[in-house]
Amino acid sequence: MKGRVIVDDRKLKILAAVVDEYVRTGEPVGSKAISKLDNIKVSAATIRNDMAALEQLGYLEQPHTSAGRVPTFKGYRLYIDELMSPPDLSDEEKHRLDDMIGGKDTPEELLIQNAAAALTEITKCAAVVTNSVPRFSVISKVEVIPTGKRLYVILLITSSGNIKNKACRLEFDLNHEQLDFFTKYIEENLSGVSVDELSEEMFDKMVAAVSAYMVSLSPLVKGICELSEDLRQQELTLSGSENLLKCDELDKMEVVRFIEHKDGLSDMLEDAFSGIQVKFGAESGSFAIGNSSLIVSKYRKDGKEAGSLGVIGPMRVDYKKIIPYVEYLTSKISYLMSDDDENIITGNIVDTDTQP
């Protein structure tokens, strides 16, 4: 074994070239192919030496002795973080995306669905979106509405316009006074509370307090508790998953299991910090697909993180092309969802277009 291997500029250039070629062709890349590239001036033999060094450093690997090199995920990581410079989208591409996702009057729900559809179509990968996360919203209203014999509907509304309801059957009917007491109590305890703060213990206490007044009220509190769980649960939509099955480099069984259970996806999306990020299946314990990569970015609503938008594909994916798309879409969605003039509370189904 020789001494320390140094990563010089040429080696990085070669690494980038290998990744580009591999992404383009899907075949392991040999020294000869690299030497033919315009921006590489050295001979195949030199490249061979450098490639051997890059392999020793863990950036490249050989499927078998007499094959070309393939980037390792460490190689991709370096490529993405340091070597690659994705070009800007052309105006034409931007307009195309704009047309696909909708405008200010498009409901948020539809906006992110359209964005997912656009990503699916353009990238030929799977797209994943999460709903506007209601974390930063607060409970704005709780109603209990009698609808039949011992039957009540609970209505929970948040400041972000999320509405949940649930039917609840009690053992006894409530008279006006009791209903009033309950509604007041709940309003006092929940109004203005952030969705994030709602906890099981909190509801346990409320059950205790309410039961002291009237035992048979506790199912209502439990109902509200369940609704609040629904609220905290962010919805996640995976679309274009058939594209994942078309990828030869992904294990079909893993893909199938992933499509079914979406293991670890929610965490992966949640964990992402600001800006665009690329994560590899290999780097994450929970995210199930081995050779996959997730390109994800969070969109914002009125300056606050509201949800994520991402593309799932094989590790061998055209990052240069996809990253600008995801970046553009998230910023566009952030813009479309935010209110320039006032802080309007728009729910996922609010119809702002009120004229006939």
Q: Produce one character per residue of 160-171: b if its CB has 16 or more CB atoms within 10 Å, e if not.
A: bbbebebebebe
Stretch that binds a copy of itself, among 15-23, 41-49, 128-136, 142-150 (CB under 8 A): 142-150
137 neighbors 232 (Cβ within 8 angstroms): no
Residue 241, contacted partner among a copy of itself, DNA, none, CB below 5-8 A by kind: a copy of itself
Residue 119: partners with Cβ closer than 8 Å, 6 or more residues away: 125, 127, 240, 309, 311, 325, 326, 329
**Is 138 one of the binding residues for a copy of itself (CB under 8 A)?**
no
**Is 352 one of the binding residues for a copy of itself (CB under 8 A)?**
yes
- DSSP assignments along 143-187, one per residue: EEEEEETTEEEEEEEETT--EEEEEEE-SS---HHHHHHHHHHHH
Residue 170, contacted partner among DNA, a copy of itself, none, CB below 5-8 A by kind: a copy of itself
> What's the CA gap between 105 and 114, in Å, rounded?
13
Residue 338, contacted partner among DNA, a copy of itself, none, CB below 5-8 A by kind: none
In the shown chain, the binding pattern of residues 225 to 264 toward a copy of itself, with x for contact by CB under 8 A and - for none, equals --------------xxxx--xx-----xx--xx-xx----
Closest CA to 179 of 204, 143, 149: 143
**Is 266 one of the binding residues for a copy of itself (CB under 8 A)?**
no
Element (H, E) at 313: strand 304-314
In the shown chain, the binding pattern of residues 61 to 80 toward DNA, with x for contact by CB under 7 A and - for none, equals -x-xxxxxx-----------
Given candidates 45, 67, 193, 349, which one binds a copy of itself under the rule CB under 8 A? Answer: 349
Distance in Å, CB of 288 to a copy of itself, minimum: 11
Closest CA to 231 of 108, 134, 116, 331: 134
Given candidates 23, 168, 272, 278, which one binds a copy of itself under the rule CB under 8 A? Answer: 168
Q: What value, to the nearest 5°, has the Cα angle with vertex 82 and ends 76 and 85? A: 95
Closest CA to 164 of 139, 194, 135: 139
Place of tokens 């980037």: 71
- In the bound state with a copy of itself, the residue whose beta carbon lies nearer, of 100 and 350, is 350
Contacts with DNA, residue ranges (CB under 7 A): 10, 27-33, 41-46, 48-49, 51-52, 55, 62, 64-69
Contacts with a copy of itself, residue ranges (CB under 8 A): 140-141, 143, 145, 147-148, 151, 153, 155, 157, 161, 163, 165-171, 207, 211, 215-216, 218-219, 222-223, 239-242, 245-246, 252-253, 256-257, 259-260, 345, 347, 349-352, 354-356
